[in-house]
Amino acid sequence: MVAFTCPNRDGSKGYGGCTYCNVDSFTPTSRTMETMKAQIEYGMKKARKSYKAEKFIIYFQPNTNTYAPAHYLKTLYDEALSVNTADIVGLSVGTRPDCLDVEKIALLESYTDRFDVDLEMGMESIYNETLSQINRGCSHDEFIAIMELLKNTKLDICVHTIFGLPGESKEMMLAYAHEINRFSKITFVKFHHLHIVEGSIMGAKYKKNPFPLFSLQAYADFLCELLPLVRPDIIIQRLFGISDLDMLIAPNWGLRKSEIQTFIDNEIERKGIVQGVAYKG
Ligand code: SF4
């Protein structure tokens, strides 16, 4: 089993991790398995059955998957990509801006002749005050610096954000779009609303002192304001993310994931929202 951690967990930058995070809320089932091969084969079997998938992307998701020496990372990525050479076509690596360097970027780029490789970068917020409050251990200036290092990369860059973090107004969140737009290397984005999960620091605090979170309608309305601002060539991979219900404290919108997606899609269509129409390049 792969056992990464994060610099704001292991003491190098802090303890406890990001306050909203419980890595067990990501993909609990397969990660309890002993070996990476078993995890991958389980995931492929499930995706074949559920989605009739034929080709697969290896996704290193929980924790910080570049937070180790490059030679160790190579061993892990090589092992994962060799599980099924016929059907694995891509590698996606979740990480944070402060855990990358030239050597690790070169390692990831070395796979691009055989695989689609994307780097999923947690930006989360564009405000240092917010990042500090959520114990991110990484500033937005570090995000800007790593994007500079990646400006000629062959990797696809996916940026991950969270909307609804305490202290951010709607106008502050809409400004994320302008910040993302200015980095031409950003190919993909994953947008998430803040959800509070069991086992997180924020979860414990929320139970004592609840604070406002997005309702589904308010979040859909927000997305309808955000999407026109987002550069039209950026592919939006996600509009929301939600943990399994047994891990979720709030907001519980009382719908399944597919129903939430349909609700948001319907609102976008009803209002005639088009990505990028308000983008001024
Ligand atoms: S959100 Fe990412 S960087 Fe933060 S503690 Fe969780 S896994 Fe680590």
Answer yes or no: is pLDDT of 22 > 70: yes
Residue 253 to residues 190, 215, 233, 262, Cα–Cα distance (Å): 20, 7, 31, 13
User: Rounded to the nearest 10 degrees, what angle do helices 257-270 and 216-226 cross at?
Assistant: 50
The encoded tokens of residue 231 equal 């550069």
Nearest residue by C-alpha to atom 4 in ligand 1: 18
What is the domain partition of the chain in residue ranges?
Answer: 23-270
Instruction: For residue 139, give Cα distances in angstroms to 107, 134, 201, 226.
Output: 25, 11, 20, 23
Task: Note the pLDDT of residue 205.
Answer: 97
How far is the C-alpha of 207 from the C-alpha of 249, rounded, in Å?
A: 8
Q: Does the beta carbon of 162 lie inside 6 Å of ligand 1?
A: no
Q: Is the CB of 64 under 6 A from ligand 1?
A: yes
Residue 29: its pLDDT value, please?
A: 57
The 8-class DSSP code of residue 79 comes to H
pLDDT value of residue 84: 84
pLDDT of residue 33: 72
- pLDDT of amino acid 85: 83
**pLDDT single digits (tens) 34-92:** 788 999 999 999 999 999 999 999 999 989 999 999 999 999 999 999 998 899 999 99
Please state the atom number of ligand 1 nearest to the C-alpha of residue 22. 6
Q: Tokens 């994060």 appear where? A: 6
Count of all residues that appear for the chain in the document: 281
- Cα of 12 from ligand 1 centre, angstroms: 14
Q: What is the predicted pLDDT for the residue at 28?
A: 52
What's the rounded Cα separation, in Å, for the pair 164 and 159? 17
The pLDDT > 70 percentage for the chain reads: 97
> Does the pLDDT at position 102 exceed 90?
yes
104 lines ligand 1 (CB under 6 A): no
| Tens of pLDDT, residues 209-265 | 999 999 999 999 999 999 999 999 999 999 999 899 999 999 999 999 999 999 999
Residue 224: its pLDDT value, please? Answer: 98
CA of 203 to the centre of ligand 1 (A): 15
Per-residue pLDDT, 2: 62
Phi, psi (deg, nearest 5) at residue 88: -90, 125
CA distance 141 to 197: 28
Question: What secondary structure letter does DSSP report for 135?
Answer: T
The tokens for 87 are 């059907």
Distance 17 CA to ligand 1 centre (A): 6
At residue 15, the 3 state secondary structure works out as strand
Is ligand 1 within 6 A of the CB of residue 65?
Answer: no
% of the chain at pLDDT higher than 90: 90
Least confident range from 35-39, 99-103, 139-143, 196-200: namely 35-39
Instruction: Say what the pLDDT of residue 23 is.
Output: 82
Q: What is the mean pLDDT of the chain?
A: 95
Mean pLDDT, rounded, for 154-176: 98
Atom of ligand 1 nearest to the CA of 94: 2
pTM: predicted TM-score of the whole model, two decimal places: 0.94
Tokens read off for 176: 């994320």
77-101 tens-digit pLDDT:
999 999 988 999 999 999 999 999 9
Dihedral angle over CA of 122, 127, 132, 137, nearest 10? 30
State the pLDDT at residue 27: 60
Ligand 1 pocket test: which of 15, 23, 27 has the largest number of ligand atoms within 8 Å of its C-beta?
23
The CA distance from 269 to 252, in Å, is 24
Q: What is the pLDDT of residue 34?
A: 77
Tokens of 74: 């190579």
| Correct CATH for 23-270 of 3.40.50.1000, 3.40.50.300, 3.40.50.720, 3.20.20.70 | 3.20.20.70
What was the pLDDT predicted at 35? 87
